[in-house]
Copies of this chain bind each other. A is one copy, B any other.
């Protein structure tokens, strides 16, 4: 037996299942929402869970995450994708040892997506982060969600990533509501606008919104490319 075959023989028994799990956030009805799917198979049939699946030999972790997401949502084109953390406790998954690489995805126009059943799920739905159903894989998935929320909070403070949760045009009030729902606290309108405008994050567009009350100036993001600042809001 040559060295390589020997190596393979030895290492084969060390191979582990690797899953990519996705926390997909969106901002709808003034609330931060997260995408959950209803599991089709054991363990936890019929329960809600974070979408995810096993990473295949011929795809990268990112490709795997996006593939899973696509299966659930039809598509998520040019959405923001960020690796969160890799969970690898020995007893996480009742099926055996699974390494779970968690990703966060920000969806900017969730209304346009057609949520649908997939190979692994009978249903997919947006839930308000403050009103989640019981989760399959109980504490493990809850931990991932908690971690994702923290990361999102931090990222809003220090980067322009908020725009990845908004459509092409938005009002400053909408932007503020997004911050408020992620921070879970009220912000001062004048200070908020002062800060956003002073950072040159947005440009006014030649349109106004058509809601109740006085129409609001619409803006677009100067860039959706991620930029890190020392502090935003």
List residues of A (76-123) whose CB comes within 8 Å of B's CBs: 83, 85-86, 88-90, 95, 97, 99, 101
Q: Chain A interface: which size bin?
A: 20 to 34
Complex interface: chain B residues within 8 A of A101 (CB):
86, 88, 99
Q: Is the interface of A mostly helix, strand, loop or mixed?
A: loop
**Alpha-carbon gap, A18 to B7, bound state (A):** 15
Q: Which residue of B lies closest to A16 (CB)?
A: B18
Cβ-based interface call for A15 (8 A): yes
For A95, the chain B residues whose CB sits under 8 A away are: 7, 11
Q: Is A29 an interface residue when CB atoms closer than 8 A count as contact?
A: no
A59 to B54, CA, bound (A): 20
Which residues from chain A sit less than 8 Å from chain B, CB to CB? 3, 7, 11, 13-18, 42, 54-62, 83, 85-86, 88-90, 95, 97, 99, 101, 230-231
